[in-house]
Structure 1
Amino acid sequence: MADNDYSFGTRNELPLDQDNRADYRLTARARAILELESGMPEDSPAEARELVCGIRDISASGLCLSSAEALSLGALLPAKVFLGNHTEPFGLMVEVVWCRPNESGFLVGVRIIESDETAYVEWMEAVASAMAQE
């Protein structure tokens, strides 16, 4: 599956009573880089602590991530999301809404926070375009 391949649903669907998202989901092979700790303004960007996560699925309002470590519920984190054949990552702000262990680490559900200082509008357009290709 290439980075720009999308399909509806996921391989391991949640039971209906556990799926709280209102939007359709698209499975995607993509990655996100979460900034867990930022360095001091005078430090180089290398001082920030980042976590690279795989993306299990996407929707207009959130992501399901595969993470090597657990994330705190309610954490607000800057994220760079690399999706499909978009050359530049989407700079987004996300909120951790759930986190649970799985066989390879943790699955993490994040909600995308609407903000004028992020690529929120561009994200919405990219997801709408991917859904139109279905």
Structure 2
Amino acid sequence: MLSLSGPESWEARCTTDANAYVGSFVVAETKSVPEREGSGQAPRERRAHQRKPPRGRCIVKLFRGTLGLGQNLALELVDVSLSGAKLRLSQNLRPGEEVTVELLGQGHLRPVKSLARVIWCRPADQGFLTGLTFEKPLSYADFLHLT
């Protein structure tokens, strides 16, 4: 039997049928322990794609909802990957909220539009930092134009 209990730990139990294996009953248990802060070891990277800061002047817009209408909440594109982005916003958003993002980098003739979902949002100097995951990954060509 194998049982998993969360992203930071795992547990495996191997058992044999006492009738099939004469002599002993085997139970093995192993758990990984997350690294402690200050241990000198970097935490395990959980992102699927590399993040990069934008190259040169990049125009970013973010709107609540999936229609791309209303007030632009984006102040700055902090970094971007194929699967998501970190933005500085003028307002707080709730995790799980759907948004529309428009990114215009050097070499783009028109903005790249993407639906995204808010993963986290926290107060920061000059607004709110927000992590987004795109509904569909950016094309590699669009990623290169942005970074």
Q: TM-score, normalised by structure 2?
A: 0.59
Structure with the largest fraction of strand: 1
Shift of 1:37: 5.5
Q: How many pairs does the alignment contain?
A: 105
Equivalent residue for 1:51, pick from 73, 77, 86: 73
RCO higher in structure (CA 8 A, sep ≥6) = 1
What secondary structure sits across from 2:142 in the alignment? helix
User: Structure 1 residue 60: deviation in Å?
Assistant: 0.3
2: CA distance, partners of 1:49 / 1:105: 15
C-alpha distance in 2 between matches for 1:72 and 1:48: 17
Deviation at 1:125, TM superposition (A): 2.9
SS of the residue 1:125 aligns to: helix
Query: For the Cα contact (< 8 Å) 2:64–2:98, is it kept in 1?
Result: no
Tell me the C-alpha RMSD between the 2 structures. 3.0
Are 2:43 and 1:27 aligned? Answer: no
1:93–1:112 Cα contact (<8 Å) kept? yes
Q: 4+ runs of 1 displaced by more than 3 Å?
A: 15-20
Instruction: Report the Cα distance in structure 2 between the residues aligned to 1:72 and 1:37, rounded to whole angstroms.
Output: 12
More helix by share: 1
Structure 1: segments with no counterpart, 5+ residues:
1-14, 40-44, 115-119
Larger Cα Rg: Structure 1 or Structure 2?
2
Deviations, residues 65-110 of structure 1 (Å, cap 9, x unaligned): 0111111110111221112221210011011001111111111000
The match for 1:77 among 99, 109, 117 is 99
**Are 2:59 and 2:104, in contact at CA under 8 Å, matched by a contact in 1?**
yes
Q: Please say if residues 37 and 48 of structure 1, whose CA atoms lie closer than 8 Å, have aligned partners that are also in contact.
A: no
Gaps of 5+ in 2: 1-40
With normalisation by structure 1, the TM-score equals 0.64
CA distance in structure 2 between the partners assigned to 1:66 and 1:53 by the alignment: 5
Q: Deviations over 1:1-46 (max 9, x none)?
A: xxxxxxxxxxxxxx9548642211110152321222588xxxxx9x
